[in-house]
Amino acid sequence: MFSSLAAGLGLGLSLIIAIGAQNLFVLRQGIRREHVLAVALVCAASDAALIAVGVSGLGLVLAAVPWAIEGARWAGAAFLLGYALLAARRAWRPAAASSVDATPSPPVARTSLTAALLTCLALTWLNPHVYLDTVFLLGSVASTHGDTRWWFAAGAMTASVAWFFSLAYGARLVGRLFDSRLAWRILDAIIAVVMAVIALSLVLGG
């Protein structure tokens, strides 16, 4: 039981701790301190649902309809490219500084809760790699644990919860680095490049 739990925790962390579109979005929301709890909950709940699908064997059903993954690939690429363009625009033309106070400050335009959650869901569910890693790979490894496969799943789900909440709330520790508009422009430029590269990889990976 405990060995399966530990195995799931280890594999879950190894798959989720990587620079990607979802993690960058969570990081940005954490730094801005916008809807942090809601975003972390949505990411963790989405991962838990995908892990459950894989461990239950429903991933085999999903594998029988490859057009679904193909659709997610193109939709995800389009969404990521659009998000990359928005981030590039923020980096190139940030909000103008106040004429009264010219001191650089973080972006003031807040993202609505609905927009943040929809973006979070899109970055998660329109990413075909999440099905390959979380559903198929985790599901396949879980099946080798037999009767304790759900302990393996619990370990992987725990890894997701720990990671997303640590990333979302831990981002506040570097918040002081983003007290200037230049820092936000650099972050948005990095986000734009990473999102564009991932979108390109989805298109060329077909």
Structure confidence by residue, pLDDT tens digits, 14-68: 778 766 788 889 988 998 889 999 999 999 999 999 999 888 876 666 656 666 6
The rounded Cα 186 to chain-centroid distance in angstroms is 20
Domain tally, the chain: 1
**Burial of 69 (C-beta count, 10 Å sphere; 0-12/13-18/19+):** middle
Q: What is the pTM of this model?
A: 0.73
Residue 200 or residue 156, greater confidence: 156
Structural domain harbouring 51: 2-204
The alpha carbon of 48 is separated from its chain's Cα centroid by a whole number of angstroms, namely: 13
> pLDDT at position 72, please?
67
Q: Give Rg (Cα) of the chain.
A: 19
> pLDDT of 95-112, one tens digit each?
543 333 334 445 556 788
Q: Give CA–CA dist 8/105, Å, rounded.
A: 42
